[in-house]
Chain A
Amino acid sequence: MKKISVMAVVILVIWMASAFRDRNNPLLPGTKNEKIAKDSIESVKAFMKVYKVLMSPRCMNCHPSGDAPLQGDDNHIHTMNVVRGPDGAGLYAAKCSNCHQPANVPGVHTPPGNPKWQLPPANMKMVFQGKTAHQLALQIMNYNLNGHKNKEQLIEHVRDTLVKAGWTMGEARVPPPMTYTAFVAAWDNWVNKGGYAPK
């Protein structure tokens, strides 16, 4: 009888711990409740690789803390007083695509290109700049802060050409600190192993 009680308490504690953990890392809306191999250690390890890429100028320059995009390897504020605008694509005569072409322009100090070039919109700024690994992981896994992306959409997002453009950065710009393939593998690993945030 005593053994059964101890077992019951152990099971209860494990269940509560699991519930608590899931509350901190809720499955994103729309995510299938599939049996994924959650692994907080592997997930966090993967995110730390991802974080280095997200904090590189090639990613962070378009995820600024203010309403002006950043430029260069030193993350200086974009010249020309360019601002985000409501949809993230600039304003008036200073819209992103007025200078940023569908592809890179040859030469140094020329605008890098992509057909979708823009910042996140004003109502969902998705700031990277100044965020700790903990804060950024929680932000990306939060449906209400990540552009309303569920798990499948997060996996899909890093395959978007605009994300990939970070690795075709044009001349005289430092690339992200790992290959695109390695980044996607780390991202998938992070998300698929539970999307845990480092402490």
Chain B
Amino acid sequence: MISLNVNQKVYQVDADPNMPLLWVIRDIIGLTGTKYGCGVAQCGACVVHMNGEAVRSCITKVSRAEGQKIITIEGLSANNDHPAQLAWQQIDVPQCGYCHSGQLMSAAVLLRENPNPTDQDIDEAMSGNICRCGTYLRIRKAIHIAAEIQKTKTKTAI
């Protein structure tokens, strides 16, 4: 059995240690918000956070995730109110939506490490997340909006 901490809940999982973390999250634990895109770390649809980093769960073996803190799109915020989620909703970023859990998870890391990202910062953080609908311009706009929301939230908290 492998012990996994996903969205602050501990799961005992009976899986091959070489199984991709994505399969465990989706098929065993049942959290299907994280998507399968390419299976070879090329598209970003499967991004989850492992100890706060935006790892690609399709090629991350579940053995690497054991004992680490995993956050999926379902655990990004308590009420779907992460600044990136609010911004995504505000300007209706998704078209088909398939890639956007990965997009949001990557954007969340960017916003944490750089609260005021420029267009170039956004490109450097997000270019590994592919969107076949081509929503890139809205993604960029939403990240700028999310940065503003984040600042307001921080001020309010102070």
Seen from chain A, the residues whose Cβ lies within 8 Å of a Cβ on chain B are: 79-83, 91-95, 97-99, 101-102, 105, 107, 109-111
A93 & B128 in contact (Cβ 8 Å cutoff): yes
What are 25 A-B residue pairs whose CB atoms fall within 8 Å in the complex? A80-B127, A80-B128, A81-B128, A82-B127, A91-B124, A91-B125, A92-B54, A92-B110, A92-B114, A92-B124, A92-B125, A93-B47, A93-B54, A93-B105, A93-B129, A94-B125, A95-B53, A97-B53, A99-B41, A101-B60, A105-B40, A109-B42, A110-B40, A110-B59, A111-B40
B109 & A93 in contact (Cβ 8 Å cutoff): yes
State the main secondary structure of chain A at its contact with B.
Answer: loop
Checking A93, A95, A102, A105 against B41 with a beta-carbon cut-off of 8 angstroms, the contacting residue is A105
A81 & B123 in contact (Cβ 8 Å cutoff): yes
Interface centre among A80, A81, A93, A94 (most CB of B within 10 A): A93
B92 within 8 A of A: no
Checking B41, B124, B126, B128 against A110 with a beta-carbon cut-off of 8 angstroms, the contacting residue is B41
A98 & B40 in contact (Cβ 8 Å cutoff): no
Taking the closest CB of chain B, its distance from the CB of A176, in whole angstroms, is 24
Taking the closest CB of chain A, its distance from the CB of B117, in whole angstroms, is 8
State the main secondary structure of chain B at its contact with A.
Answer: mixed
Known A81-B124, A81-B127, A81-B128: A93·B60 in contact at CB below 8 Å: no
Which 10 residue pairs of A and B lie closest in terms of their CB atoms, listed nearest first? A81-B127, A93-B106, A92-B125, A80-B128, A93-B54, A99-B41, A92-B110, A93-B109, A93-B125, A105-B59
Seen from chain B, the residues whose Cβ lies within 8 Å of a Cβ on chain A are: 40-42, 47, 53-56, 59-61, 64, 105-107, 109-110, 113-114, 121, 123-129
**What 4 new A-B contacts, CB under 8 Å, besides A92-B106, A93-B110?**
A79-B42, A82-B127, A91-B125, A99-B56
Residue of B nearest to A113 (CB): B59
Residue of A nearest to B56 (CB): A99
Known A99-B41, A107-B40: A92·B59 in contact at CB below 8 Å: no
Docked pose: A102 CA to B50 CA in angstroms: 14
B59 & A98 in contact (Cβ 8 Å cutoff): no
Contacts of B56 in A (CB 8 A): 98-99
Contacts of A82 in B (CB 8 A): 127-128
Docked pose: A111 CA to B114 CA in angstroms: 26
A94 & B127 in contact (Cβ 8 Å cutoff): yes
